[in-house]
Amino acid sequence: MRSLLVGLTLIAMAIAAPRMAAQKVELSIDASKPGAKIDRHLFGQFAEHLGHGIYEGIWVGADSTIPNTRGIRNDVVAALKVIHVPNVRWPGGCFADGYHWRDGIGAQRVVRLNPDWGGVIEPNTFGTHEFMDFIDQIGSEAYVSVNVGSGSPQEASDWLEYMTAAQATTLEKERAANGHPAPYKVALLGLGNESWDCGGNMTADYYLDRMKSFSHFVRNYNPAQMEKDQMLKIAVGPGGSEQRWTDWTETVMKAYQQHTWSWDINGLSMHNYTVVKWPPAFKSVGFGEDEYAQILKTTLDMDDLIKKHSAIMDKYDPQKKVALVVDEWGSWYAPSPGSNPGFLVQQNSLRDAILTALNINIFARHADRVRGANIAQMINVLQAMILTDHEKMVLTPTYYIHKMYVPFQDSTFVPVTFDAGSYKHGDFTLPRVDAMAAKSKDGKLWVEITNVDPHHPAEVELNVTGINAKSVAGETLTAPKVDSVNTFDAPNTVVPKPISARAQGGKLILQLEPKSVTVVSVEQ
Ligand code: AHR
């Protein structure tokens, strides 16, 4: 009886509680004014030999009781196919500059340690062929980072010949004998990783000299990549905004301006994690509005960082031939309690979903220069799409944002104007809403709107010119709390739900939940 009374009282209180007033936002979109292409490679992923990112996350081995195809888990492949991963960066990260590709081919694998990440055994059972099989299974492309730190141009050159040669060289025959007669495609090539730090602690000048050698000697021989689909070479770029990073960008780009036929680059990498301060101390779950506001405020620094380095690139490359490739980004929190700190395990909440949308929108607004980005990392590490525990798998809020954004891959940016207003919490003030629009490859107009405010719904009035907009429909993602997560036991706490607009007086009105991400298409 008592519990019935308590229940009725709570229901009465909920009915009586005033719903927070919706904040009105006017979005104007002129669909006749398309901008830059939003490259599908902005949605790239990163899979490093780190913790359970590869082993268990992707690779379980052919003898595993976990359903797999040639050792690669089927549940993970099925989930990744849905989000149309354009490229996977591998094998690192810091791991790449200690990686020797011969350890990971053939029947006899070389067992080593992984000194970067927990000092654990690296069995090398997942090597070149397994990686290529994996990206083939998920329908993606290879972004291979070669070892500039502890390797040599010759070692990297041999690796590329092994992977891509079509003519009967010794390395081509070895690849065929190992099960793959056809040359592999290598879409992107990373010339080192963080060479200013774990990649060898180099000065910019020293790196530049080494990078030129690698750029020249590390060739792609795949006949299908000679004329079109040429492999893009990505040089190591900055990791922050301080002078040491702007100097680095200056050094590489100044040299690029004067580069000769014998070396070239197509991209400059940039790494930027949302971390507030090192070592990462923010909790990935079990936090409140303070940490929500501070992390999202910090993540917006991505915009200034891109502007800063783009301005330097513009000086030496006004035609924007060299892409800025943000090939490591995402949230980096304190390790989950009880986990190996070297494995970078963290939970993934609604806050991460919103952080993802904000960053992708920043990349899209700079799409003329930012033509690649790789969230760190794909599975079980940092801001992951997927978490696994032996045979169990769960999709994170970040995964669902990637799913909702699929129509933006290779779309054309369309400018949106709106008054964002502000969301204030304590010392932090952020734009209350964010929005982005683009025309997908099939000509359809797509609009994304993020309501950062965790308390107030937003009433969005869409004014679309340039097309005859009749209705909008799509999906929205929110959850009860800013730190709501999906777990193996409750996998559907943060999942997208359908949403549509109501037409009112010739306008399209969308009601957005607080702390939500919404993607809709405009029907004509
Ligand atoms: O993603 C984890 C690590 O962060 C990468 O290995 C390194 O490049 C960066 O410092």
Q: Does the C-beta of 331 come closer than 6 Å to ligand 1?
A: no
Atom from ligand 1 closest to the CA of residue 96: 6
Question: How many whole angstroms from 28 Cα to the centroid of ligand 1?
Answer: 39
Q: What is the pLDDT of residues 167-219, one digit of tens each?
A: 999 999 999 999 999 999 999 999 999 999 999 999 999 999 999 999 999 99
User: Is residue 327 in contact with ligand 1, taking CB distance under 6 Å?
Assistant: no
Q: Is residue 351 within 8 Å of residue 396, measured between CB atoms?
A: no
Once rounded to an integer, what is the mean pLDDT over residues 284-289?
Answer: 98
- The pTM is what? 0.95
- Rounded Cα gap, residues 369 and 309, in angstroms: 10
Compute the mean pLDDT over every residue in the chain, rounded to the nearest whole number: 95
Which atom number of ligand 1 is nearest to the Cα of residue 92? Answer: 6
Instruction: Give 471's pLDDT tier (boundaries 50, 70, 90).
Output: confident
Query: Which DSSP string do the residues of 105-156 spell out, in sequence order?
Result: SSSSPPPEEETTTTTEEE---S-HHHHHHHHHHHT-EEEEEE--SSS-HHHH
C-beta of 374 in contact with ligand 1 (< 6 A): no
d(CA 456, CA 331): 25
Q: Is the pLDDT of residue 8 over 50?
A: no
- State residue 225's pLDDT score: 98
- From 523, 516, 512, 399, select the one nearest 470 (Cα to Cα): 523
pLDDT at 501: 87
pLDDT in tens, 86-129: 999 999 999 999 999 999 999 999 999 999 999 999 999 999 99
Buried b / exposed e over 236-247, threshold 16 CB at 10 Å, is: bbbbbeeeebbe
Q: Kindly state if the Cβ of 376 falls inside 6 Å of ligand 1.
A: yes
Q: Residue 263's closest CA among 203, 194, 322?
A: 322
Q: Which of 99-113, 341-355, 405-419, 466-480 has the lowest mean pLDDT?
A: 466-480
Active site residues: 194, 328
**pLDDT over threshold 80, residue 509:** yes
- pLDDT given for residue 524 in this prediction: 83
